[in-house]
């Protein structure tokens, strides 16, 4: 078994469920459809949410959530007061209640759910507190800051019965839905190898974000921001560029690779951590005091399937997920999904026949052509782009999937178990980098071993 289904069962289930190569019923292929699909809208039916962390991502999630019919923002929390102003601006509500204490949102009985978009080292505490307070949670990726934290979160979500959606939004994208349908329908056969890659080449791409100019201990609760991280004096760069340090973030693995891993897991129907991870990398380009690598390559073993990952902040390269199988290649690059079928047989007489004497060679070649030359119309298609359209970065459908689950209590597309498995790949990649040795996942002990 591999995850919920064996890989072969997953392929067969897909073929049976959809009954045709390109059947896509039940998948959100038209992302605008979320609006029409939402049957609610009356104020009495609205889902009332609070947002915890209104920074770069939380402020975007706030705006995006408000594009969904029947959803209302009723409060916001952030440790930096400037983001209280930002929350009111984004919600277009000058009197939106704001607070530095996220617990104030959890205490309110009129809040159904919270969006948690804080730095990675705060995810566990806030998610556990929120589900224990009876709130459903949309938590940003990567779900956890460490492997053990992820299991605490899975446990808290399970025992509370609350919904947790993790925020690698491409699992709600039309592009991934299409890729998953195609894979389930066997277009490449059973996957034998995966390549994932992504590269950036700019200061902002490398997280050298400008701190808010007015940031100071008078408008930011610095002690609370540090949380369980080592105590250091106020530092505006740490606040804005926390991704660069392992004390708060999870590096290129947790920040970027987690999206590729989540998309791969969703496409292939996998819901497991990798068995092993082996990393190489270093800080080659951005020598700004960070302790997380800016170049990180990883080789994972996912149930026997090698997954090669290349992440770098020194050279820009397109974001790519390439799935390979005996029947060809399925390749996703942001807005495009391409299928390159392969017949898996010779299209010309074997070049080994060059080693035959002439008469033998000519006889072999003539025989080969007579038996194998394609008849008109039977040649295989050499390649086709099957999808171009919405970027696979589809936040609104992902939020919509969450808010619908809050109403219906149906499962979300990316629950805590899935989010934990995706995050574990990131933690294993980082652990292997820092240990300078391969690591394997010990499922019994829920720990990594060399
Ligand atoms: N899904 C995506 O594509 C995507 C994109 C960007 C960021 N993210 C994720 O979103 C999260 C936030 O990233 P960001 O770039 O918005 O960070 P950010 O630093 O811009 O914003 C984080 C905010 O959280 C606040 N905060 C920290 N601890 C808090 C607490 N205990 N209570 C209330 N507020 C608190 C900070 O004051 C800050 O304003 C991260 O986990 C990141 O990985 C996801």
If one counts every other C-beta atom within 10 angstroms of the C-beta of residue 331, the result is 20
Q: Is residue 366 part of a domain?
A: no
Report the distance separating Cα 395 and Cα 397, nearest Å. Answer: 6
- Residue 154 sits in the same domain as residue 291: no
Which one, of 73, 55, 203, 170, lies nearest residue 119 by Cα? 55
297 token code pair: 């390559």
Report the distance separating Cα 112 and Cα 46, nearest Å. Answer: 10
Report whether residue 319 contacts ligand 1, using a CB cutoff of 6 Å. no
- Residue 231 sits in the same domain as residue 133: no
CATH of the domain at 124: 3.40.50.720
Out of 53, 79, 121, 212, give the residue to mutate to test ligand 1, the one with the largest number of ligand atoms within 8 Å of its CB.
Answer: 53
Work out how many domains the chain is built from and give that number. Answer: 2
Specify the pLDDT at position 335: 86
**440 is in which domain, residue-wise?**
188-343+381-393+432-449
- Residue 148 sits in the same domain as residue 205: no
Helix H or strand E encompassing 84: helix 82-91
- Residue 263 sits in the same domain as residue 131: no
Which one, of 304, 418, 322, lies nearest residue 2 by Cα? 304
- Residue 416 sits in the same domain as residue 295: no
- Residue 217 sits in the same domain as residue 104: no
Q: Is residue 111 part of a domain?
A: yes
- Residue 194 sits in the same domain as residue 327: yes
If one counts every other C-beta atom within 10 angstroms of the C-beta of residue 233, the result is 7
Specify the pLDDT at position 39: 42
Q: Is residue 210 part of a domain?
A: yes
Q: Is residue 13 part of a domain?
A: no
Write out pLDDT tens, residues 217-269.
999 999 999 999 999 999 999 999 999 999 999 999 999 999 999 999 999 99
Report whether residue 255 contacts ligand 1, using a CB cutoff of 6 Å. yes
- Residue 322 sits in the same domain as residue 309: yes
Q: Is residue 42 part of a domain?
A: yes
Helix H or strand E encompassing 339: strand 336-341
Report whether residue 58 contacts ligand 1, using a CB cutoff of 6 Å. yes
249 alpha carbon to ligand 1 midpoint, in Å? Answer: 10
If one counts every other C-beta atom within 10 angstroms of the C-beta of residue 413, the result is 21
Residue 205 class from Cβ within 10 Å (0-12 exposed, 13-18 middle, 19+ buried)? middle
Report the distance separating Cα 285 and Cα 73, nearest Å. Answer: 41
- Residue 149 sits in the same domain as residue 192: no
Q: Is residue 278 part of a domain?
A: yes
CA atoms lying within 13 Å on the CB side of residue 426: 32
**Are residues 43 and 98 in contact, defined by beta-carbon separation less than 8 angstroms?**
no
Report whether residue 77 contacts ligand 1, using a CB cutoff of 6 Å. yes
Pairing mode, strands 164-166 and 193-199: unpaired
Angle in degrees, CA 203, 209, 211, rounded to 5: 150
- Residue 127 sits in the same domain as residue 162: yes
Distance between terminal CA atoms of the chain?
24
**Are residues 74 and 48 in contact, defined by beta-carbon separation less than 8 angstroms?**
yes
- Run means of pLDDT, 10 residues per run, the chain, 450 residues: 41 38 34 43 76 98 97 98 98 98 98 98 98 98 98 98 97 94 96 98 98 98 98 98 98 98 98 98 98 98 98 97 97 91 91 98 98 80 70 89 97 98 98 98 96
- Among protein residues, the one whose CA lies closest to atom 27 of ligand 1: 118
CATH of the domain at 241: 3.30.360.10
- Residue 152 sits in the same domain as residue 262: no
Q: Is residue 441 part of a domain?
A: yes
335 alpha carbon to ligand 1 midpoint, in Å? Answer: 26
**Are residues 41 and 70 in contact, defined by beta-carbon separation less than 8 angstroms?**
yes
Q: Determine phi and psi for 167, rounding to 5 degrees.
A: -95, 40
- Residue 219 sits in the same domain as residue 234: yes
Specify the pLDDT at position 376: 80
Specify the pLDDT at position 393: 77
Q: Is residue 51 part of a domain?
A: yes
31 alpha carbon to ligand 1 midpoint, in Å? Answer: 25
């Amino acid at each position: 078994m591999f995850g919920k289904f064996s890989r072969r069962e997953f392929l067969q289930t897909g073929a049976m469920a959809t009954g045709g190569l390109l059947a896509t019923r039940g998948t959100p292929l038209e992302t605008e459809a979320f609006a029409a699909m939402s049957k609610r809208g009356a104020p009495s039916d609205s889902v009332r949410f609070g947002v915890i962390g209104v920074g770069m991502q939380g402020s975007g999630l706030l705006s995006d959530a408000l594009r969904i019919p029947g959803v209302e923002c009723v409060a916001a929390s952030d440790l930096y007061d400037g983001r209280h102003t930002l929350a009111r601006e984004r919600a277009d509500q000058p009197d939106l209640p704001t607070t530095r204490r996220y617990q104030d949102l959890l205490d309110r009985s009129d809040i159904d759910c919270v969006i948690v978009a804080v730095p990675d080292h705060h995810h566990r505490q806030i998610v556990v507190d929120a589900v224990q307070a009876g709130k459903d949670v949309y938590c940003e990726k990567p779900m956890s800051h460490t492997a053990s934290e992820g299991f605490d979160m899975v446990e808290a979500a399970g025992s509370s019965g609350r919904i947790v959606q993790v925020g690698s939004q491409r699992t709600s994208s039309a592009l991934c839905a299409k890729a998953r349908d195609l894979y389930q329908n066997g277009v490449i056969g059973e996957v034998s190898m995966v390549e994932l890659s992504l590269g950036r080449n700019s200061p902002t791409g490398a997280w050298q974000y400008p701190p808010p100019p007015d940031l100071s201990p008078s408008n930011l609760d610095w002690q609370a921001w540090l949380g369980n991280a080592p105590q250091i004096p106020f530092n505006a760069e740490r606040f804005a560029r926390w991704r660069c340090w392992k004390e708060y973030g999870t590096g290129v693995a947790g920040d970027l690779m987690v999206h590729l891993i989540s998309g791969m897991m969703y496409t292939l129907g996998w819901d497991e951590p990798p068995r092993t991870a082996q990393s190489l990398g270093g800080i080659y380009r951005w020598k700004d005091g960070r302790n997380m690598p800016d170049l990180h390559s990883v080789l994972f073993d996912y149930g026997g399937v090698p997954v090669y990952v290349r992440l770098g902040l020194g050279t820009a390269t397109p974001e790519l997920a390439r799935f390979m199988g005996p029947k060809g290649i399925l390749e996703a690059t942001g807005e495009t999904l391409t299928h390159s079928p392969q017949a898996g047989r010779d299209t010309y007489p074997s070049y080994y026949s060059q080693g035959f004497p002439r008469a033998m060679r000519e006889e072999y070649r003539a025989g080969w052509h007579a038996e194998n030359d394609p008849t008109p119309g039977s040649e295989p298609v050499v390649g086709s782009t099957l999808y171009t359209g919405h970027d696979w970065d589809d936040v609104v459908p992902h939020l919509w999937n969450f808010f619908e689950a809050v109403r219906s209590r149906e499962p979300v597309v990316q629950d805590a178990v899935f989010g934990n498995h995706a995050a574990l790949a990131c933690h294993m990649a980082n652990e292997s980098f820092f240990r300078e040795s391969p690591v394997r996942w010990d499922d019994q002990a829920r720990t990594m071993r060399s």
